[in-house]
Each structure stands twice: as C-alpha cells, then as structure tokens.
Amino acid sequence: MLQYKVLSPIAIPVGTLVGLTDEMALPRIHNLLEQVAGVYAARTALSFKAGQEIGLDAGTAKALASLLQSLDEPVDVVAPAVVIEQVKVADPVKVKKNAKK
C-alpha cells in the first residue's frame, strides 16, 4: 500500500482497501471494516478532502491518478516549454501508409 496526498475531493468506492491513521479512521469507523492494523475496507463510499493523506493499492490509485499525488515516489516537475519541445508531431504520410498495411 502506497501513501498518497489527495489533490481534489474524492470518493473511495465500497470495498476499497484504504490505509488510514487512527485520527482519520476514528470519525469514519462506522463505515470501515478493519483488515489489518491501519488498513480498512470501505463499507460505504468514503470521502476525502484535498490535502488529506491516505494509503491505497496501486490499482485503485491508478484509477484516481489525476486526483492524487504519490508521497512514495519523487515528483518530476517539467517546465511547459520542455514538454512542448518533447512532443513529436506525427507525419501524416507515414500514418496513412501504416494504416494501409
């Protein structure tokens, strides 16, 4: 289970395993089923505000990737000009030839 910071309000679906601190679990305890210490299964949809830190498995986090920031991996910040330079425009002639094959 990896740690993530919530960037925008999210709802975690029923049955999802989520890692929570005791402080975060206590107000939600009626909606949680503890699996192991600090890891809970959601009995109902759980809501989290921006800025909160939660644990999720990689599959769940991937589905919510645009709303989460990983705290376990370094974050690469790329300047927009660099991104624009890296974008390659497809050659329409090559694309058309490959489509016919």
More confident residue, 77 or 34: 34
pLDDT of 49 over the 90 cut: yes
Taking alpha carbons only, the member of 39, 49, 41, 40 closest to residue 11 is 49
pTM score, whole prediction: 0.67
pLDDT digits (tens, 9 = 90+) for 77-93: 444 444 444 444 545 55
Q: Is the model's pLDDT at 45 over the cut of 80?
A: yes
Question: By the 8 A CB rule, do 83 and 43 touch?
Answer: no
Residue identified by tokens 């740690």 is: 3
